[in-house]
Amino acid sequence: CSCHISYLLWKSKCQQVLSVLGEMESGSIYLQFTCSTSLQLEVIFEVLEEYDWTSFSVVTTRHHGYEDFLAMVEGMTDGSFIGWEKKSVVTLNVTDDPGGARTKRLLKDNEAQVRLLYCSLEEAELVFRAAWAAGQAGPSHMWFAVGPALSGLGLEGLPKALFAIRPQGWRDEPRRRIAKGVSVLTHGAMALRRDQGATSRAQYAGNCQSDGNQTHRVADRIRYFTNISIGGRDYSFNSDGYLSNPLLDVISYTNGRGWEEVGWWENGHLRLRYHPWSRYGSFLKPLDDAQHLRVVTLEERPFVIVEPADPGTSSCIRDSVPCRMPVNSSLVVDNTGPMKHCCKGFCIDVLKRLAKIVGFTYDLYLVTNGRHGKNIDGEWNGMVGEVVSNRADMAIGSLTINEERSEVVEFSVPFVETGISVMVSRSNGTVSPSAFLEPYSPAVWVMMFVMCLSVVAVTVFIFEFFSPVGYNRSLQSAKKSGGSKFTIGKSVWLLWALVFNNSVPVENPRGTTSKIMVLVWAFFAVIFLASYTANLAAFMIQEEYIDTVSGLSDKKFQQPTEQYPPLRFGTVPNGSTEENIRSNYPNMHQYMIRNNQKGVEEAIDNLKTGKLDAFIYDAAVLNYMARKDEGCKVMTIGSGKVFATTGYGIALHKNSRWKRPLDLALLQLVGDDEIDMLERLWLSGICHNDKIEVMSSKLDIDNMAGVFYMLLVAMGLSLLVFAWEHLVYWKLRHCVKRSGGMDFLLALSRVRDTFIPPKTFHRQRKYIFK
């Protein structure tokens, strides 16, 4: 041929290439169907992400290229947001350790369950032999074979948990692989001939063995292999001699079944045949089953926050752990199975610290019915039910310790103080158009203006009319009275002026009794106006005004219907808060059922929209939601006052051997201020319950809209009264003049001119008072 192209054939027995270590012949290029070490590591780290095997160690020998291998691992882990934990780097020298004692000791001292192995094929056999002797080759230790030298691994004594990355077609017969290689060479040679044949005068022999064949050095020869397609698949190579777009298989070795495909990698995306629920499962087992716990939790911010995996990497980012979602609520995308979810939060951080201190591993999953735990007809549901039924060894989350739950599960010492609190909505300064009427109930307004004002006005008029010194009596001067002057209208006008302290011209009564009555009314008006003014400020000025309660036994909760308007409050059912209220305040519980909420988020929305006046729930959750609320529109009353104080605890089986270690670990976290640090991290916020002094601002049109509406209505009614007055005056005036006895229509106080002749009435008055 016109150029030297050394194609690496795979061994039929070991399924590996013939040579990758030898020096290249000058002017030759190597085309490899296997993948590079960097690409193998890229796929391996994606597998580690999927199964949450973030803690690993590196085991290597001084095999050719090991320094580049270590640099690649360093570059992929340093600065990554995944949170990789590289336990150690173990560099072995198996050639100088004939008995394998030192290799065995180094492997045994390695704490990581996942190991990345880079070495030659011959060294791998010695490493695995030492791993078996050290107890590091069982199902609790996962090995990943990395590097081109370990592409075959047709060895005896492989560990029980072993992963490798292979190009698709790794099961093909050698003849088929050779044919595929020859086909690639043929396409490259044809491209070379077409290009060089059209531009060069060189003559190419048809037989490479002929005497006339000569070697021609062609620059940039790899470009003839950068655009090859065979059977619909891309076999283009890059400048390093590797496939540009390889199709790779993730294979796993299982003792007794051999190698099997568990996933594939194509176009930069990893797909796994078996969807990982947690770090432990079919491939990797815990180091000690007795130290592995099934942990159940419940989503409730900020203690447990459930989010889908990072869309860019399909993995859980730093400080979060995979958590299994219930099957019936998992999302399925393109029939690839449930999406991977990640859990983080205050309780997750506590769990991770406990696992490190006590020394246990765990499989985390979410409770199926989304409840903390309630006894229904003798059956427990929620997290407590998972522990009682032995489906879980531990329950952690916003699980309140109470007497009923303590009868069926064992609780650890509390790690968060909580209880029952009340959340209300802050006043935002915006009032309704009828806010000026809010200080008094409708019954008070009716009593004031319909009953009191009318009755007192009539009473003052009657006292004044019959008073011997009133406007209708002139006995002292022995003159005619000239008719009555103090009418009912003037009495109403006087009392109205006293109520609102108006400076208007009025005629005061002269009678002693009527004056006393007016003075009593004036005192009543002072109290009425002062109370109205004080209460009006709470409804119309722009500052916070929140009713306080002394506890759940407060009258506002125990007798809500006696308040105006009745207080609307509720809680989330099937929790410790509802159980506490049901047990201690049955009437209150019966009233609040109509206002119970589906969740905390719905309750907060209803508080903001005015559909709910107060929300009673777990104090720790409400304090967090109040601090994190956007706009700080909700708050817990009494600066976070807590009623029925208790705490969050970890639920365990009765007489569990884990109780004492967990209690000691929790006390250690409290003593080291770890819990306080986590509370500052997860439970703090920018909103506070401290009352803020706010300077009152001018009342705009929105605040006084109701008053203006009232003026408009009054103007309209005044027009009607004005028309009626003219109608009476012009239409009935002539009738009154002709009859001479209808003056009472114009003034009720002039009854003497209508029913009693003036002279007779005067004589009677004079006789009576002689």
The residue written with tokens 């006292």 in the block is 463
- Both tokens of residue 644? 């029925």
Are 485 and 507 in contact by the 8 Å Cβ rule? The answer is yes
Phi-psi region of 79 (alpha: psi -120 to 50; beta: other; left: phi over 0): left
**Amino acid symbol at 27:** G
What is the rounded CA–CA span in Å between residue 594 and residue 423? Answer: 18
**Amino acid symbol at 669:** L
Q: Is 696 annotated as a binding residue?
A: no
Q: What are the residues whose beta carbons fall under 8 Å from the beta carbon of 315, sequence distance 6 or more?
A: 46, 49, 50, 52, 82, 309, 340
Phi-psi region of 56 (alpha: psi -120 to 50; beta: other; left: phi over 0): beta
Q: Is 576 annotated as a binding residue?
A: yes
- The burial class, CB within 10 Å (0-12 / 13-18 / 19+), for 557 is buried
CA distances from 690 to 5, 425, 537 (A): 80, 14, 20
What is the rounded CA–CA span in Å between residue 569 and residue 578? Answer: 12
What is the rounded CA–CA span in Å between residue 672 and residue 667? Answer: 9
CA angle, corner 477, sides to 476 and 479, nearest 5?
A: 120
Estimate to the nearest angstrom the gap between the alpha carbon of 240 and the chain centroid. 48
Q: Is 405 annotated as a binding residue?
A: yes
**3-class secondary structure for 38-88?**
HHHHHHHHHHHHHCCCCEEEEEECCCCCHHHHHHHHHHHHCCCCCCCEEEE
CA dihedral 70, 74, 76, 82 (to 10 degrees): 130
CA dihedral 595, 598, 603, 606 (to 10 degrees): -70
CA angle, corner 468, sides to 466 and 474, nearest 5?
A: 115
Q: Is 257 annotated as a binding residue?
A: no
Q: What are the residues whose beta carbons fall under 8 Å from the beta carbon of 216, sequence distance 6 or more?
A: 2, 3, 196, 202
Q: Is 211 annotated as a binding residue?
A: no
Binding site, residues?
400, 405, 576-577, 618
Residue positions forming the annotated binding site for L-glutamate: 400, 405, 576-577, 618
